[in-house]
Amino acid sequence: MLRPIRFLALTAVLTTALAVPAMTPAMAQAPTRHEAENAAVSQGTVESNHAGFSGTGFVNYDNVAGGYVEFAVNAPSAGTASIVLRYANGTTTNRPMTVAVNGTSVTRDFPGTGAWSTWASTTITAPVNAGANTIRATATTAGGGPNLDYAEVDVAAPASEYQAENAVISQGIVDTKHAGYTGSGFVDYANVEGSYVEFTVDAAAAGNAALTFRYANGTTVNRPLAVAVNGTSVNRDFPGTGAWSTWAEITVNAALRAGPNTVRATATTANGGPNLDRLTVSAGGPSDTEKPTAPGGLRSTATTSSSISLAWNASTDNSGTIKDYRVYEGTSLKATVSGTSATITGLAPSSTHTYTVTARDPSDNESDRSASVTATTQAGGTGTPVQANGQLKVCGVRLCNERGEQIQLRGMSTHGLQWYSQCLNTASLDALATDWKSDILRISMYIQDGGYESNPRQFTDRVHNLIEMATARGMYAIVDWHMLDPGDPMYNLSRAKTFFTEIAQRHNGKNNLLYEIANEPSGVSWSTIRNYAHQLIPVIRQNDPDTPILVGTRAWSSLGVSEGSDENEVVANPVNATNIMYTFHFYAASHGSDYLNTLSRAADRIPVFVTEFGTQEATGDGPNNFTRSQQYIDLMAQKKISWVNWNYSDDFRSGAVFTTGTCPNGPFAGTSRLKPAGVWIRDRVRAD
């Protein structure tokens, strides 16, 4: 929810690449030189009037802010690249540039070199992808950039040997008391169940690999480990080796993706794991002919008049990875998904269908079929919001249904799941769908304040459950990553990647979701928020290419207004992604005409979704301003701006729609337990 206006000092932060574990390197690749005169040049000219350049010339930035040189760089493998920019600056004034690698930027100084024929260089370290990459150097001042001669790119060879003592260690210790180890030591699992060693393994390309663990087990008791590759686990035995100074090897065949992979070896018994010396990775492991286990627990989770939603339990495979699942009706393939759920659409009302599911591993070995499940679609009728509109998409600056028609969704947001989950049960969501006639439920999962950070598994499962409950009722659902304090979304980036990966993998077959990836950023620049979006959106898109993504805006999602800006910062520098919208939040008793006018202008220029608003003050409490609220409601109806109100709970504040004590027993339908704001907003949600 919104907070009062405040001003924070900003500190420029340069994000550096992660350190790579100690390794035995593969054959190094020679640095690749890319001449500036052969690159894409905007608002600059190729010249050769100053001596000392390489190639056939250099680029003069022509004293223009925004001029750039963009290099197309093909990297032999994913990894960390050292990028050397050779330049000359014949003035005494620094000519800074923003250097963006695949859209992620850092600003560098290019000070005077004494003369235009005196060349110097600066080096930037950044992650690159296997294959195509872009490196853009953009002038940031009216003086333009320096003269640019070339970019020389050197990609560190991916590791093949990883020492355990340099990996991430949980509840274990680095020790040297037993002879025969390699490197500077080994990891003792300290006789703790759940202790683990986690390696980050860079692969030049996707494919099979042999993961060989060197270990010692001086007992006669097996010390098994769960070996998880990118989160998918397989159990392996690590039997006694005769002595703690006698080392042996166990190999696990796995499928790696291009770029970084996580390999975690976790002790599964109270004895802990063996002593672990190192992990060796050999690309192109033996071909895999073992098929995965058949999926279990196939079930129907929801039906509409035109669709059946299915879910099942995950399969396991000797490689540790499941590539995808296939849904069949008889011999006909109906869907292929990466997660453990799918929705089959385009079905006739009152029709019966029987499905089975198989799993495939990275070598395309397909499992036996699951047990079958039979489900019947509902009778035809006017239908739920999802039946009426199907898969949403962004068209132009509006939200559209599957037929490309502009629509407006109206609905409610939960309060924090850590505080008011008792308000979200079968009866309350039935009332929201049928009595309130809500199109959409916003599932607000706080990250801090006792939320996700305190128990990721518990809160992820709560979101899974609420998605299924909204789906069963034909409502759309916003999965709200409710970051609030701290206001910098980058603080929670790794957590967001983990969370949205699981959500997208499990629910990518559904057509009723939207992902809100940053609730209310504050105290940070728009470029920081944009950078966060550029890092998180590709993670989601790997698993779910179709669901619209909602990006928070600066100053508590006010499009910058609460910190003295407006929508122009987004219009001038939009997120480089498709099928996205930008969020706007307001509280009518605190936010007057400047906010209202900003929303009106912005909706004509960029796709906007009001994912949170209240009729009260910015604290979610205090007196209601229904007159100003109606002005917002009228504007949003006129411009088809979808909206969600805060909040569907019995919190004591005036912004909670139910009177204190309503949850969990209700009643939730009708107006008998509603506060004034609840009565007012229910009427607007229900309006034709």
Q: Annotated catalytic sites, by residue? A: 520, 612
Query: Residue 509 CA to chain centroid, in angstroms?
Result: 17
- Kindly report the number of other CB atoms within 10 A of residue 567's CB atom: 24
Q: Which residues of 602-618 are buried (b: 16+ CB within 10 A; e: fewer)?
A: bbeebbbbbbbbbbbbb
Rounded Cα distance between 433 and 476, Å, is 10
CA–centroid distance for 390 within its chain: 23
Pairwise CA distance, residues 76 & 53, whole Å? 27
8 Å CB contact between 141 and 95: yes
Residues 6+ apart with CB under 8 A from 59: 36, 37, 39, 41, 44, 45, 46, 47, 69, 147, 148
| 8 vs 14: CA distance, rounded Å | 18
- Measured CA to CA, the distance from residue 317 to residue 254 in angstroms comes to 9
Q: Are 492 and 450 in contact (CB under 8 A)?
A: no
646 neighbors 685 (Cβ within 8 angstroms): no
Quote the tokens at residue 122: 């600066």
Residues 473 and 100: their CA atoms lie apart, in Å, by: 45
In sequence order, which residues have a C-beta less than 8 Å from that of residue 8 and are 6 or more positions away? 487, 522, 523
Say if residues 447 and 489 touch (Cβ distance below 8 Å).
no
Asked if 656 and 621 touch (Cβ cutoff 8 Å), the reply is no
Six-digit token string for 537: 């959106």
Residues 6+ apart with CB under 8 A from 543: 338, 339, 501, 504, 505, 508
Residue whose pair of structure tokens reads 């910015």 in the numeric block? 618
Work out whether strand 341-344 and strand 308-313 pair parallel, antiparallel, or are unpaired: antiparallel
Structure-token pair, residue 666? 């209700």
Quickly count: other Cβ atoms within 10 Å of residue 548's Cβ. Answer: 22
Whether 156 and 80 have beta carbons less than 8 Å apart is answered as yes
DSSP 258: S
Q: Given the DSSP bridges, would you call strands 131-139 and 97-101 parallel, antiparallel or unpaired?
A: antiparallel
**Distance between CA atoms of 323 and 255, rounded to whole angstroms?**
9
Torsion of CA 551, 552, 554, 559, to 10 degrees: 80
Radius of gyration of the chain (CA): 28
**Residue 543 dihedral angles phi and psi, to the nearest 5°:** -110, -25
AA letter at 191: N
Question: What span, in angstroms and rounded, lies between the C-alpha atoms of 561 and 600?
Answer: 13
Total count of residues recorded for the chain: 688
For residue 440 the two structure tokens come to: 């959409």
DSSP element (H, E) containing 438: none
Selection from 70, 63, 82 nearest residue 20 by Cα: 82
